[in-house]
Structure 1
Amino acid sequence: MPGQGRAQKPADKDKTNAQVKELGAVTVTAQGRTEDILKVPYNISAVSGDAIEQDQILDTAELMRRVPGVGVVDRGPRNSNVVSGIRIRGLNVDSSAMGDYAVGASATVATYVDSTPLFANFLLSDIDRVEVLRGPQGTLYGSGALGGAVRYIMRKPELESFNGKVSLSASSVDHAGGIGKSGTVTLNVPLASSLAVRFDGTTNRYPGITDYRNVYVLDQQGTPVAPNGVLAPDARYQDKKNADYVDQSYARAAMLWKPNDWFDLTLSHMAQADTFGGRRGTTLGTDGWGVPYGDLQIGSVQLEPAKRHVHLTGLEANVDLGFATLTSSSSSYDQRGDITSENTGFYAQNHWLSAFYYNYPRPMASAVRTYGDKAFIQELRLVSKQGPRFSYIVGAFYQNQHRVSTQNSYLRGFKQWWDAAYPAYAAAVVSDNDYLYRQNEHFQESAVYGELTWHATDTLDFTGGFRYFRDQTRTDVHQVTGLYAAIREGSDSHGSETDTRPLFKGNVAWTFAPDNQLYATISEGYRRGGTNGTPTTGNFAESPAWLTYKPDTVRNYDLGIKGRVGRTTYNADVFYVDWRNAQINSSTTNWGFFAVQNVGKAHTRGVELSLESSVGKAFNYGMGYTYTGASLDQAAVAADNAYVIAPSGTRLPGTPKQRFNAWASYGIPVGAGFLTLRGDAYVQSSAQNALSQNPKFHVEMPGFSLFNLSATYSRDAWDLTLWIKNLTNQAAVTGVYTQQYMGSSPTQNYYGNGSKALVSLPRTVGLTLTYQF
C-alpha cells in the first residue's frame, strides 16, 4: 500500500531535491505499541499522511480504493457522513442505495479518530497515517468491530521545531459551473521545551456539477406555484444548474505537554461544518413528458440540501511505567445534521398519490430528516514492553452514547388544494404533514479486553485474546401517521435490550526467516441488537416480529504470509468468515416504517494479495488484488415471514468479486528542482445493488476502472502539483435507486423522476501550490 517513500517530508528535502526516498519500513500502532507493520501477525494496511497529501486524495472513497481488499459505496459528499460506505471482506447485506437517513444498525466496519470510535468522515487533513485492520478487532480496541477497523491517526504537535504549511488548490470538474477552491493552513508552534501547539484548518468551496432539471417553482410558503389557480392541473418548473455545491470548513487545535521522558499529555479539539446543495447522480429513464435524462441530471421536483456539523474533543495521557505504558483516553463528540429528500417517486410507485391523495395535481413529497449522535468515551489501556517470553495488552472501555433520528414527511400544498377542492370537508385534512417520526436511543457499553502473547521460541509466538462486555440499549420511538383526521394515529413505543458475553481470539505466528512470517488467526466479532419501536395496533399496525432485532456475530478465520525480500514487501492471505443473524437495515411489510431485522446465516471467503517494491532510488510501485465470495447460507426472510427477501446462495450486495489496485511513482531531477510523476489505478468487477431479488431493488452494477495521474515539481520549500482524477471520465456506479422504486408517474401527476444512479466524481483537473516552512 502507498505508505512510504512516494516523496519526501520537508525535513527530508535538500535544496536540489536530488532523489526520492526508497521504500522503507512502515510503522503502525495497531497493537498498542509502535512496531514495523511486518511484525503485526495479521493483514493490516497503512496509508501515510504524506501519501494522502502528495496524491491529492480528496475523500474517504478515494482513499479506501487505494487499500487492497477494501470496498466503498461512493455516495458523493452530500451523503458521505450519514451512513458509512466502507466494506471489508464482504460483510454487508444493506442496499447500496442508502444514505439519506441514519440507519439503526451499527456499521460492520468500525472507524476511529485517534482513540475515539466515531464515523464522522472528517476531511483528510493533517493526518499522520490511516491504518486498516481486517477482521474482528474487539480484543484490541474498546469498541468492537465486526468486520474490521479503520483508524485515522492525527499528527501530534512537535516540540522540536516551529514549522507550517500553506496549500492552495484550484480544480475544474466536467459539468461543473465554475472553479473549485480549497485551502489548508497548518502551523506547529513550540511554546517551551515541554509544550507545543498545532493548528490546522481546511476550507473547500466546490461548485455543483449536477443539474436538477425539473424542479417546482415554489411560493414563499415552500409550496409548488399554481400559475392558473390552486384547482388547475398545471405547475411551473425550472432547471437548477449545478445544484450540488459543496461548502466545508474544518479546524483542529492540539496541545502537547511532555514535561519529562515518562509522561505526555495531548489535548485536542476538532470541528467541521458542511453545507451541500444537493446530491450527485444521474436519473434513469425519462421524465413524465418522455424526455430522457442526460449525464448528471437529476429528476427530483425539489432541491435536496443537507447540512452537518461535528465536534470532537479528546484528552490522551501516556505514562511510561518501565515495564509497560499506561494510556488514558477520554473523549466526547457531538454530531448533528439535517437532510431533505425527494420522496414523491416513492409515493408514486406505491400508488399512494392516486389511492390516498386524490391525484393531487402538484405532488411534492418532502422527507425532512435530522440525525444526531453524541457520546462520552473513557478508555484505559496497559501495554507491556516486548518481553523475552511474554507481552500483553489489557484495557477497560466505557461508552455512553445518545443517538437521535427524526423525520417529518410532507405532501407540500395538499391541505391548501384540499380546502379549495372540498371546502365542505376541510376539517378532514389536518395538515400537509403525513408522517412524523422521532427516535431516541441510549446506549451504554462497559468492556474489558486484552491479548497475551507467549514468545515460545525466538521464531514462534502464540497469542490469545478476550473481550468481556455488557451492552445496555434503550430505544424510545414516537410516530404519527396520516394527514386525514379520521385515520391519523400516533404511537409511542419503548424497548430495552441487555447483553453480556465474552469474545475470543487465537493467533499463531512463525517467523520462518528474518522479516518474514506465516500467521493464522481465529477471531470472533459482535454487533449489538436493539429495538425498532414499530406500532403493533391501530390502522398502521405491523407484526410484533418487527419490534426487536438480535445481535449478529462472526467467526473469522485467517491464514497468511507476509514479509520483505530485498526491496519488496508482500502480504498474501486467505480468509473465511461465518456470519450469523446478519442485521439488515430495512422497512416493515405493511407501511414501510424504519426497521432493522436479522436475515440468518451468510459467509464470505476470499484471497487478499499485496506487494510494494522499488527499483533504484527513483521508481516505487505497489499493487493489490482481492477475490471475495460472499453469499447467503440460508434464505433471507422478512421478520414477519411475509415474503422471501432472497433465496439461499444469493450474493451479498455492495461487494465485487474481484478488485485490483496499483500505484507507481517516478522522480527525476529537472533543473534546480525535482519532478515526481505519480499514477494509480483501481479496477473492480460487477456488484449487486441490494440483497433483495425484487426488481424494485435488484440491479447488477457493472464493473469499472478509475485512473488518476499527477506531476509535482518541487524546488526548495515549494511544490506545484498538476493532478487529474478519473482520467477516462468513467461514470462508476456504486448504488442505484431504480425506476420501479422511485420513478416517474404522469398518470398520478408526477412528472419528475426520483430514480438515480450514484456515480463517481467525473474527470477533474486540479492545480495545487504548497509552501512549507
Structure 2
Amino acid sequence: MTSTALLARCRPHPLPLLAGLALTALPLLPSMAQSTGSQEILLEEIIVTAQKRLENLQTVPASVSVLSGAQMAKSSPGGLADYAAYLPGFSVTSAGTPGQVTIALRGISAVGQAATVGTYIDDTPLGSSSNYARATSFALDLFPYDIQQVEVLRGPQGTLYGASTMGGLLKYVTRQPDLNKTEVRFGAEMSGTDKAGGANWGVRGQVNIPLVEDRLAIQASAFRQENAGYIDNPMTGARNTNPVDQEGARIAALWRPAETVTVRLSALFQKVDALNNSVAAYDPVTDRPLGGRLDSRYRMDQSFDKDLSFYSGTLDWDLDWANLTSATSYSKAETVQGQDASLVYGDLFPMFTGGAVAPGLAPFELGLDLEKWTQEVRLTSPSGQGFEWMLGGFYTWEDSVQAQLLNATDINGNPVPGLDPMAIVSIPSRYEEVAVFGNATVALTDRFDVTAGLRWARNEQDYQQITDGALVGGAAEMVGASSENVLTFMVSPRLRVNDDLTLYTRVASSYRPGGPNVALPGLPPSVDADTLISYEGGVKSTLLDGRLLANAAVFLIDWKDIQIAASNGGIGYLENGGKARSAGLEFETVLLPGDGWRLGFNGAYTDAFFKGDVPSVGALDNDRLPLIPKFSFSVTADQEIALAGDWTGNFGGGYRWSGSTYNAAPNAPEAVSTKSYGVLDLHAGVSDGTVSVRAFVRNAMNSRATTSASMLTSAVGVQQQIDRTVLQPRTIGLSLDVTY
C-alpha cells in the first residue's frame, strides 16, 4: 500500500483515509409570566425530561439548560450554530452549512470519529454509535420550526442515555398534537444578508386537528427555507457560491385509547442542499485572506446534501404502581459531501505518470448511508415518593456504509488514463448493542436524598475495508470484528435547602464504544472504548421572590484511553492514545427587574487539556483540546410592553462571545487558531395572539469573524492554504406568523 494516504478536508480538521475516516438575540432559560394589575412578575416553572421523568428544572440534580421554540423564533435561526452560543459550555463548530457541525460539551471534544455528545429526538436517539459513520462531523442540526424546546444536559449521561454521551446530551423536544384544539398556523419571512446575491426567504405551516375529542389528534407541518450565497470565487469568477436550501415535513399523531394509555407516533423528514461551504481562503504563512475576506479558492464546487427520515413510536401506560414506557425508532440518513481535493492530490499526477501528466484536478466524494433501529422499554415508579426507581432495557442495531471516491482529471476535467480513479474505498459496518439500566432515589429526610444508577451494555461490531486504485496500492479487501462489555455508573446526593434553593453533587461515568480497526500490519485489530469520570457540584436557586434565577456548577472530568484518529506514513487508523482533563464552571441567570424587562447573563470557563504527550496527533503535555474555547458568555435583554387593545410589543437583543480555539492540538503541524469573537443580535415585534410580526437582525455589528479553521496540506506535505468558516454577515429580516 502506498505511503501517501488520501487526505480529506472534512472540516474542521483534515483526516486520513481508512479507519472509517473520509479522504480527506435569544434569551435563555425560563420565559416570563407577566400579569396585569398589582400581581407580581414571576419566572415560570420549566418542566424537563432530563432524568426520563417530568421534573422541575430547578430541582433536577444536574446541569441542564432549556431554550424554548418561542425564544428561538425571535431571531429566526437557521440551525444550531445560530443559537448554541447562548447555552453555556455548548460548543458548535460549523464547516459552513447546516448539518456539517461538530458539537462538544464541557470540553469533551471530538478528537476521534465517534460522537462525544448524544442526540435525542423526544424519547429516542439519533445518529451513529460506531466509528465509521462519521457521527462527529455531521451531528443532527434540526431546523427550529417544529421544536417545542431544546434541552442541553451537561456532563456524562451514560447511565440513562447510553453510549457516546460523555460530554452530555442534546435533546430536541418536538411539538405534540393537541387532543382538544383545532389550530392552524402559518408564516413567512424575508431577509437580506450583506454582500449576498439575493434575498433569503422561507415559508412554513402547521395544522393540528382533533379527530376524536380527548382521544385522537394529528398534527402536520412543513417548511422551506432558501438562503442566498455571499461567498465569491475569483479563481472561477463565480459569485455568491454558497446558497443553502432546507426543507422538511413532520406528521405526528397522539392517541389516548384510555385515560391511562398514551400512544405517540411521528414521522419527520428533513433535507439540506448546499452548493458550497461558507469558507474563505487564507494564506498559510501570513494567515491573511488570499483574496477578499469572503473569497474562496477552489476550481470545483464543494457541495453538501443530506436527507434524513426519522420514524418513532412511544407508548406510555400508567399501571398505577409504575409507568411503562416503550420507545421505538427507525431512521435513515443519506449524506453526500463533495470536495475539491486538487490542492492535496493534484501535484501527485506527475509522480504517478513519470512526468507525462501535469498537475490536475482531484474531485473527491464522500457518501454516507446510515440505517438505525432502536428499542427501549422501561418501568418508572411514581414521582414524589420516598423511594423512586427506574428499570429499563435498550437495544439498537445500525448498518452503515461509507463510500469514498477520488478521481484524477486534467485541468479541463478529462479523466487521466491509468490513474483515474485514484482511490475507491468502501467501508460497510454493523453495530449492535444491548443494555440494561436502572436507578433509584432514596429520601433520607424530607430535604435530602441520594440517586444512584448503573448501566451495563454490550456491543458487537463487524467491519469491511474494500479498496482499489493507485493511491491505495490496488484492489484489496479486509474484514474486522470486535465486541466489548461496558459498565457505567452515577451517584448524586441532593439537598433541597428550601423551596427556592437546591444543592447537589454528582459523580458519573460514560463511554464511547470502541470497534474494529483498520486492517494493516502492526496495528491492533480493534480499539477499546474510551471512558471518563466526572465530578460535579452545583447550586440552583430562585431568589428575589421569584424574580431572579441563578444556577451554577463546577466540574472536573478525567478522560482516559482517548480514541485518536492517527496516521503513519499517510495511512489513517485508530488508536487509544493518552489522557485528558477538563475542569471549569458554568452559570446562567435570569432577572426580571420589573416593567416587562427580562435580563440574562450566562457563561462558562472550560480548561480542557491533554495529560501527557500524544505523538500521533502532535500533542504535548498540557496542550489544549481542539475546538474548545476557554471562555464564553452571553448577555440578553428583552422588554415586553402593552399596546392598544390586545396588542403587545417586544424588543430586545443578545450578545454572544466565544473565546479563541484551535482546530488541533496547538503544537501539531496542522494547528491553526481562530480568534475570539462577539456577535450582537437584535429583534422587535408586535402580536395580538393571532398575528405576530417580527423584525430581526443577526450579527448587527457585521462582525467579520471566522468561527473555525482547517489547514489544507498537500499529499507531499506542503501547506497550501487555510480554510476559514465565515460568520454569516449582517442579516436583516422580517417575519410574519398567523395562528388561528
Which residue in 1 is equivalent to 2:74?
54
2:428 matches 1:440: yes
Alignment of 1:316-331 (within 5 A): 316-331=314-329
Which residue in 2 is equivalent to 1:257?
255
Which residue in 2 is equivalent to 1:495?
480
2:20 matches 1:2: no
Which residue in 2 is equivalent to 1:426?
none
Which residue in 2 is equivalent to 1:544?
523
Q: CA deviation at 1:69?
A: 1.4
Which residue in 2 is equivalent to 1:113?
121
Residue 550 (structure 2) aligned to one of 541, 551, 570: 570
Which residue in 2 is equivalent to 1:70?
90
Determine the C-alpha separation between the residues in 2 that align with 1:19 and 1:170: 39
Determine the C-alpha separation between the residues in 1 that align with 2:234 and 2:535: 50
Q: CA deviation at 1:608?
A: 0.9
Alignment of 1:99-498 (within 5 A): 105-119=113-127, 120-143=140-163, 145-193=165-213, 194-214=215-235, 238-285=236-283, 292-347=290-345, 352-356=348-352, 358=355, 360-361=357-358, 363-413=360-410, 429-482=417-470, 488-498=473-483
Q: What letter corresponds to residue 666 of structure 1 in structure 2?
A: Q
Task: Report which of the two structures shows the higher radius of gyration computed on alpha carbons.
Answer: 1
**Corresponding residue SS for 1:153:** strand
Which residue in 1 is equivalent to 2:10?
none
Q: Which ranges of structure 1 fall in alignment gaps of 5 or more residues?
A: 95-103, 215-237, 420-428, 537-542, 639-643
1:743–1:754 contact (8 Å) kept in structure 2: no
1:284–1:739 contact (8 Å) kept in structure 2: no
**Corresponding residue SS for 2:84:** helix
Q: CA deviation at 1:55?
A: 3.4
Let me know the Cα RMSD of the aligned residues. Answer: 2.7
Q: 1:761 to 1:585 in 2, by over 3 A?
A: farther
Residue 588 (structure 2) aligned to one of 593, 598, 610: 610
Residue 29 (structure 1) aligned to one of 49, 60, 66: 49
Determine the C-alpha separation between the residues in 1 that align with 2:313 and 2:734: 37
Tell me the TM-score normalised to structure 1 length.
Answer: 0.85
Determine the C-alpha separation between the residues in 1 that align with 2:739 and 2:386: 46
Q: 1:70 to 1:734 in 2, by over 3 A?
A: same
Determine the C-alpha separation between the residues in 1 that align with 2:41 and 2:423: 60
2:164–2:513 contact (8 Å) kept in structure 1: no
2:701 matches 1:728: yes
1:736–1:757 contact (8 Å) kept in structure 2: yes
**Corresponding residue SS for 2:569:** coil
Determine the C-alpha separation between the residues in 1 that align with 2:349 and 2:179: 65
Which residue in 1 is equivalent to 2:108?
91
2:680 matches 1:680: no
Determine the C-alpha separation between the residues in 1 that align with 2:409 and 2:703: 37
Determine the C-alpha separation between the residues in 1 that align with 2:204 and 2:90: 28
Q: What letter corresponds to residue 531 of structure 1 in structure 2?
A: P
Q: CA deviation at 1:772?
A: 1.0
Render the CA deviation track for 1:539-566: whole Å, top value 9, x for unaligned.
Answer: xxxx425x53221000000011112112
Render the CA deviation track for 1:514-559: whole Å, top value 9, x for unaligned.
Answer: 22111111101111011233444xxxxxx425x5322100000001
**Corresponding residue SS for 1:489:** coil
Determine the C-alpha separation between the residues in 2 that align with 1:413 and 1:18: 77
Q: 1:417 to 1:663 in 2, by over 3 A?
A: closer
Determine the C-alpha separation between the residues in 2 that align with 1:722 and 1:738: 38
Determine the C-alpha separation between the residues in 2 that align with 1:60 and 1:416: 37
Which residue in 1 is equivalent to 2:620?
647
Residue 636 (structure 2) aligned to one of 657, 663, 675: 663
**Corresponding residue SS for 2:331:** strand
Q: CA deviation at 1:492?
A: 1.2
Q: CA deviation at 1:324?
A: 1.7
Q: 1:40 to 1:418 in 2, by over 3 A?
A: closer
Q: Which ranges of structure 2 fall in alignment gaps of 5 or more residues?
A: 1-26, 128-139
Alignment of 1:524-539 (within 5 A): 524-536=509-521
Which residue in 2 is equivalent to 1:515?
500
Q: What letter corresponds to residue 117 of structure 1 in structure 2?
A: P
Q: What letter corresponds to residue 700 of structure 1 in structure 2?
A: S
Q: 1:302 to 1:754 in 2, by over 3 A?
A: farther
Q: What letter corresponds to residue 36 of structure 1 in structure 2?
A: N
Q: CA deviation at 1:155?
A: 1.1
Q: CA deviation at 1:4?
A: 3.2
Q: 1:755 to 1:615 in 2, by over 3 A?
A: same
Which residue in 2 is equivalent to 1:708?
681
Determine the C-alpha separation between the residues in 2 that align with 1:372 and 1:20: 54
Determine the C-alpha separation between the residues in 2 that align with 1:417 and 1:270: 41
Render the CA deviation track for 1:168-210: whole Å, top value 9, x for unaligned.
Answer: 0101111211001111101111111111000111101112111
Determine the C-alpha separation between the residues in 1 that align with 2:702 and 2:330: 41
Further displaced range: 198-207 or 410-419:
410-419
Q: 1:177 to 1:636 in 2, by over 3 A?
A: same
Render the CA deviation track for 1:106-130: whole Å, top value 9, x for unaligned.
Answer: 2100011112211432211221111
Q: 1:675 to 1:295 in 2, by over 3 A?
A: same
Determine the C-alpha separation between the residues in 1 that align with 2:196 and 2:180: 44
Render the CA deviation track for 1:615-664: whole Å, top value 9, x for unaligned.
Answer: 225001211121111111111132xxxxx621111111111111111212
Q: What letter corresponds to residue 369 of structure 2 in structure 1?
A: G
Which residue in 1 is equivalent to 2:130?
none
Further displaced range: 609-618 or 174-183:
609-618
Q: 1:339 to 1:768 in 2, by over 3 A?
A: same
Determine the C-alpha separation between the residues in 2 that align with 1:310 and 1:45: 26
Determine the C-alpha separation between the residues in 2 that align with 1:669 and 1:452: 48
Q: 1:676 to 1:511 in 2, by over 3 A?
A: same
Determine the C-alpha separation between the residues in 2 that align with 1:465 and 1:359: 66
1:76–1:761 contact (8 Å) kept in structure 2: no
Q: 1:54 to 1:5 in 2, by over 3 A?
A: same
2:643–2:649 contact (8 Å) kept in structure 1: yes
Determine the C-alpha separation between the residues in 1 that align with 2:211 and 2:621: 63
Tell me the TM-score normalised to structure 2 length.
Answer: 0.89
**Corresponding residue SS for 2:308:** strand
**Corresponding residue SS for 1:204:** strand
Alignment of 1:617-636 (within 5 A): 617-636=595-614
Q: CA deviation at 1:744?
A: 12
Q: What letter corresponds to residue 451 of structure 1 in structure 2?
A: N
1:169–1:182 contact (8 Å) kept in structure 2: yes
Count residues with an aligned counterpart. 695
Determine the C-alpha separation between the residues in 2 that align with 1:258 and 1:93: 42
